[in-house]
């Protein structure tokens, strides 16, 4: 269950990153600032959760698996945004 949550968070983070990039391209400063802040908070919270989870220090394979799930979610988020064709 935890891996699915990390996967979804990775996808969401990547989608937010692309929205932030597009908002910056179109000089939408307020939108870019808000989305950028949200994506940074999500990213740091996820990495904090992975690093400080009890048992990850004793079982580094578990932590690596959680990081890979998070990164795979990011890749799927990028693929989705490219295929969707975010145009604004």
Q: Would you kindly state where each structural domain of the chain is located, as residue ranges? A: 2-84
Name the pTM for this structure: 0.82
Q: How far apart are CA 27 and CA 12, in angstroms?
A: 22
**pLDDT tens per residue across span 9-52:** 999 999 998 889 889 999 999 999 999 999 999 989 988 888 88
Percent of the chain with pLDDT over 90: 47
Q: How far apart are CA 52 and CA 36, in angstroms?
A: 24
| Separation in Å, CA 84 to CA 35, 60, 69, 79 | 19, 36, 22, 8
Maximum Cα–Cα distance for the chain, whole Å? 47
């Amino acid at each position: 269950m935890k891996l699915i949550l990390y996967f979804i968070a990775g996808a969401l983070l990547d989608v937010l990153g692309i929205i932030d990039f597009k908002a910056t391209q179109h000089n939408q400063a307020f939108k870019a600032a808000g989305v950028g802040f949200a994506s940074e908070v999500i990213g740091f919270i996820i990495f904090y959760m992975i690093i400080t989870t009890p048992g990850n220090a004793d079982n580094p394979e578990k932590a690596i698996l959680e990081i890979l799930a998070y990164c795979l979610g990011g890749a799927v988020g990028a693929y989705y945004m490219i295929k969707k064709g975010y145009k604004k």
